[in-house]
């Protein structure tokens, strides 16, 4: 055993270290596999088949599709590493798709990518990596992991446009100590440059943009497929309870939405609330979307409780800005008081906590928005 830490922070020579790389078939995870192989590690690439996509086109901008599995296999052959495919369709449906459908039917706006990371990708792939006696699980996510005193903390990636920390807030401490994220300190163009130097056929492959099991971004078609009874007409009301029109199903709407309401008024109308029990859509002016207090459930903390006693930063959507806030939390729930107004906060989304230090923006944890 070496006394010097290797590039992933372990006291082992790379050639005595086995790592599993989660390979989606995209440029990021493929580059990570190439980096690990180039540094001398024993690399096992694992690709997950998560859903049946026989009717999908190969040019889809989705991850984990049929073409992506072929690309991951080609990259593995090019790099000379072992490659495995795990067939997790049933686990993915029960852990992600079913939750996605039920969440929309409750009037929420779910984030299936968080659910996927929380269940299939990290939970099941974590266990598979352990079964293979791997020393670490490596992914192509754009987040930084910093290990000090045998404890690993997660930080925002240096590439602001690619940072994925919002989607990983539910990572457990045990998982975080086992995971490594080599791309957290890189810019996206640097990743592509490395892929080109390695001669990988995915170097110029477009990034996945859609939810993987939602063809062309049409989520309502997915819901209709699994719950054909979901399209039920109901009333569209204003904030005072006056009926303004009729909708074709609450699954067609999310909080803050303006298009598709099909009700005319002297000023633009937005979806303010979705009442799933009454099957009603409440609409109003944009000012009614303003909110300064958020309620959370199912907290996951990656910090000491004392770190939440001071002012923190929060994000309430993946593409949103960080907002200063104070948190009052109990074991599994929390109340967040924002120090400035935010618009269009939706149940089903996540509120992720951060603090800034000399290293960067540290992820403190987060929870699911209930109201």
For the chain, the structural domain boundaries read 14-217, 231-284, 289-369
Cα Rg, the chain, nearest whole Å: 22
Specify the pLDDT at position 118: 84
227/102 Cα distance (integer angstroms): 9
Q: How far is CA 200 from CA 46, 71, 205, 287, in A?
A: 17, 10, 10, 50
Q: Which residues are catalytic?
A: 116, 212
Give pLDDT, residue 315: 97
Residue 297 binned pLDDT confidence (cut-offs 50, 70, 90): very high
Burial class (CB in 10 A: 0-12, 13-18, 19+), 266: exposed
Residue 53 — very low, low, confident or very high, per pLDDT cuts 50/70/90? low
Extended beta strands in 105-247, E state = 136-138, 143-148, 151-156, 179-180, 234-238, 243-247
> Does residue 233 carry a pLDDT above 50?
yes
- Alpha-carbon distance of 81 to 45, in angstroms, equals 7
pLDDT at 231 over 60: yes
The single residue listed with the structure tokens 């080599």 is 182
Q: Say yes or no to pLDDT of 52 above 80.
A: no
CA distance 347 to 75: 40
Residue 5, helix vs strand vs coil: coil
d(CA 220, CA 364): 34
Q: Which fold has domain 289-369?
A: Elongation Factor Tu (Ef-tu); domain 3 (2.40.30)
How far CA 15 is from CA of 19, 24, 42, 134, 140, in Å, comes to 10, 24, 6, 12, 21
Q: Mean per-residue pLDDT for 173-199?
A: 95
Taking residues 108-112, what's their average pLDDT? 90
pLDDT for residue 60: 46
Percent of the chain with pLDDT over 90: 68
Average pLDDT over residues 159-167: 94
CATH no. for 231-284? 2.30.30.280
CB burial of residue 307 (10 Å; 0-12, 13-18, 19+): middle
Query: What is the total residue count of the chain?
Result: 371
Q: List all residues 6 or more positions away from 62 whose beta carbon is below 8 Å from its beta carbon.
A: 53, 56, 68, 208, 209, 210, 211, 212, 213, 214, 215
The CA-to-CA distance between both ends of the chain, in Å, stands at 52
Decide: residue 330, CB within 10 A, 0-12 exposed, 13-18 middle, 19+ buried.
exposed
CA 117 – CA 123 distance, rounded (Å)? 8
pLDDT at 300 over 90: yes
For strands 280-284 and 234-238, give the pairing.
parallel
Domain 14-217 has CATH 3.40.50.620: yes
Q: How confident is the model at residue 58 (pLDDT cuts 50, 70, 90)?
A: very low
């Amino acid at each position: 055993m070496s006394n010097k830490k290797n590039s992933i922070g372990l006291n082992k020579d790379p050639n005595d270290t086995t790592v599993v790389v989660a390979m989606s078939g995209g440029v990021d995870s493929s580059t990570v596999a190439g980096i690990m192989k180039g540094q001398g590690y024993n690399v096992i690439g694992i690709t997950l088949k998560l859903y049946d996509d026989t009717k999908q086109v190969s040019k889809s901008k989705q991850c984990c599709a049929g073409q992506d599995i072929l690309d991951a296999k080609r990259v593995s052959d090019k790099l000379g590493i072992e490659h495995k495919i795990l067939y997790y369709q049933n686990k993915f449906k029960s852990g992600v798709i079913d939750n996605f459908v039920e969440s929309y039917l409750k009037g929420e706006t779910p984030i299936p990518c968080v659910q996927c990371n929380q269940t299939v990708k990290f939970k099941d792939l974590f266990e598979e990596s352990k079964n293979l006696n791997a020393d670490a699980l490596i992914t192509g996510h754009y987040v930084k992991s910093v290990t000090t005193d045998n404890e690993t903390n997660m930080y925002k990636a240096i590439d602001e446009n690619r940072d994925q920390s919002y989607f990983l807030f539910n990572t457990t401490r045990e998982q975080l100590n086992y995971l490594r994220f080599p791309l957290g300190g890189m810019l996206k163009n640097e990743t592509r440059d490395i892929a080109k130097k390695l001669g990988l056929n995915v170097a110029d492959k477009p990034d996945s943009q859609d939810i993987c099991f939602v063809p062309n971004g049409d989520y309502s078609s997915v819901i209709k497929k699994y719950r054909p009874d979901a399209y039920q007409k109901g009333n569209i009301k204003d904030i005072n309870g006056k009926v303004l029109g009729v909708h074709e199903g609450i699954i067609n709407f999310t909080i803050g939405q303006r298009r598709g309401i099909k009700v005319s008024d002297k000023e633009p109308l937005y979806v303010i609330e979705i009442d799933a029990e009454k099957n009603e859509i409440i609409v109003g002016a944009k000012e009614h979307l303003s909110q300064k207090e958020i309620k959370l459930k199912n907290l996951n903390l990656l910090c000491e409780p004392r770190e939440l006693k001071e002012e923190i930063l929060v994000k309430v959507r993946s593409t949103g800005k960080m907002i200063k806030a104070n948190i009052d939390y109990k074991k599994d729930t929390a109340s967040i008081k924002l120090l400035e107004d935010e618009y269009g906060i939706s149940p089903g989304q996540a509120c992720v906590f951060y603090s800034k230090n000399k290293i960067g923006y540290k992820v403190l944890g987060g929870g699911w928005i209930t109201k």
